[in-house]
A and B are shown apart, each in its own frame.
Chain A
């Protein structure tokens, strides 16, 4: 599904082949493009031009590779999880451990690239949006590392419930601005970041957190995140002598999923499965499963699937996972869905939390609740595919900061000994006194999508 052959650079670095999409103006079939005020076009053109020059520049690639290795800790390992996989119908499950990156998720991969680009175009200030706070933390981290001033927009509601990540960003020297417009959530934080950018574009670069937004963000963020799949494909081939049967990842905006999918897109025998946040269930209307339950439209600068009403107004999404709680999705996912190369399935809050607990208790790994959606998808797909299936799951982030949400979900009181244990009742619901699914307060998740 790709045509361009690898390009050998003057150094030793060989750039992996890019997919055929997007086209020169950022379209993935009917999706993508640029739906932004004219005032931003010059900045987007500048970014596109600088990025296209930088991505093949040996000096940039050497610096980027050095940071990935020495700062982030790449390559991240692949871990087999046999005790967890006992619950997946005999399938074998491998985890790509993005949770072990510095700052605790895949977000740092993209942010380091965009921060280097910011310096290259001579701007001294970066802005970012954040939902659960992880992209904000990663951006604040890269800004501190590279001496850039940093402003992060975050929905007021999220700053309250994600106080820990707000504190992290401030410790790192970033300014955090609570957004009080609209629904006061991630989508409004993105609106506010765009308003800042259009006003301060001469001095400021927008470090976008996912594979959504106007061109060049979807392609650029993909290129920075594809290291996940490039590494994992080699690691799996080396240890197993074959490719996995399926690659699974959670999808909010979709950057960790695109990151692990891209290397496998040309491998027609490998199923690509994105797990969307099903919230209370897609049929309840309280969910964030954009491709499963949405329709094509335009939001935040690109055409893609989105959750909208008959008037074309964006509707509110719902998920226990703050990082997946977004009514849009990156345009490349919409394209991969429409051409049938990837499939997208919803995972409810309850299914995700069951998988979350199972991984904790069987493998000693606390996943981000976002990533737990991919784990839940693997349990189901493993049972469908049967024994000997080999599944690769992107563990996009760690769950340290989800402990409060998880404790409430499982009714784990301060002194109370409650054992959700392996082999959890699959129908388990929150116990009395716990926050119910609908009320669940999403924790400051580490593997958030945005």
Chain B
């Protein structure tokens, strides 16, 4: 399987990374890390923060804190429905920073997930400074490829933040190398060609992508997202990846009215799943 946590710590791309450290800590317990995605502002800012805290209480190691965006091109209908409501309510980076602080306080590692324009509009340097000050570990940028990310990488360096870029089954080996070289913390492996959403199966593409990604970047943690919604699927992904990212299934708990309790219960189910 993957390199040991010790070897991982040696890798320049992960030195000083809180995300990599937390994933390595999970590995010492012989399990994958559980990464929960929830968008800020759905159903309200307060309730979304409470749901994030509940996800941590249920066993999430890392919370991906979603910045609502009007044009979420990589998201499926479940997440869109939630973020549309948050966009209409005027939720912005200031609210996101509150969620970051709350997640850090609850004991998980907070990482922001944002399409690029809200960050660019807020100001790249200002965002990095404020995120670091709020206790955030870094950011995942689904529509920002490293080729366009010089400003963000410089700002993240300046504030000792992680930056997580995505790889996909269609990525060439050359792109796997260049993209992982720009990552710090972990690399997000999009398991299928498609958008976010729960699926019956995660598919073989994910395992093959993880294998190719490890080959391109030995030592960089590889976390898998898109399509994981229950403990069984989490177990499947945990057997070959360093972290399991779950989004739509969490959001569905809120959309279907089960609130923080539903989120906590889902985390518990998934947390059992990530242990082999």
Residues of A with Cβ closer than 8 Å to B?
25, 33-43, 181-182, 187-188, 191, 194-195, 198-202, 297-301, 308, 310-314
Contact A198 B195 (CB under 8 A): yes
| Residue of A whose beta carbon sits closest to that of B192 | A199
Mark out the residues of chain B between 141 and 184 whose CB falls within 8 Å of any chain A CB in the assembled complex.
Answer: 142-145, 147-148, 165-172, 175, 179
Shortest B203–chain A CB gap in Å is 13
In the complex, chain B residues whose CB is within 8 Å of the CB of A34: 145, 147-148
In the complex, chain B residues whose CB is within 8 Å of the CB of A41: 145, 168, 170-171, 175
B257 beta carbon closer than 8 Å to chain A: no
In the complex, chain B residues whose CB is within 8 Å of the CB of A308: 117, 121
A33-B148, A311-B92, A312-B69 in contact; A39/B143 too (CB < 8 A)?
no
Main secondary structure of the interface of B (DSSP, over half): loop
Contact B116 A298 (CB under 8 A): yes
Shortest B123–chain A CB gap in Å is 10
Contact B117 A38 (CB under 8 A): no
Contact B193 A182 (CB under 8 A): no
Contact B71 A36 (CB under 8 A): no
| In-complex Cβ contact of A297 among B68, B76, B120, B142 (8 A) | B120
A38-B171, A41-B170, A191-B71 in contact; A312/B195 too (CB < 8 A)?
no
Residues of B with Cβ closer than 8 Å to A?
68-74, 76-77, 80, 84, 87, 90-93, 116-122, 142-145, 147-148, 165-172, 175, 179, 190, 193-195
A181-B84, A182-B84, A298-B120 in contact; A195/B170 too (CB < 8 A)?
no
In the complex, chain B residues whose CB is within 8 Å of the CB of A25: 147
Contact B74 A37 (CB under 8 A): yes
In the complex, chain B residues whose CB is within 8 Å of the CB of A199: 193-195
Number of A-B contacts (CB under 8 A): 120
Contact B172 A38 (CB under 8 A): no
Shortest A202–chain B CB gap in Å is 8
Contact A38 B165 (CB under 8 A): yes
A216, B71: Cα distance in complex, Å: 21
Shortest B155–chain A CB gap in Å is 16
> Which of A35, A36, A198 has the most B CB atoms < 10 Å from its CB?
A35
Contact A37 B166 (CB under 8 A): yes
> Which of A182, A201, A301, A313 has the most B CB atoms < 10 Å from its CB?
A313
A36, B72: Cα distance in complex, Å: 11
Contact B118 A42 (CB under 8 A): no
Known A-B contacts: A312-B117, A312-B118. Give 20 more (CB < 8 A): A34-B148, A36-B73, A37-B168, A38-B168, A39-B169, A39-B194, A40-B170, A41-B168, A42-B170, A42-B171, A181-B84, A182-B70, A198-B194, A199-B194, A199-B195, A201-B170, A311-B87, A311-B118, A313-B70, A314-B71
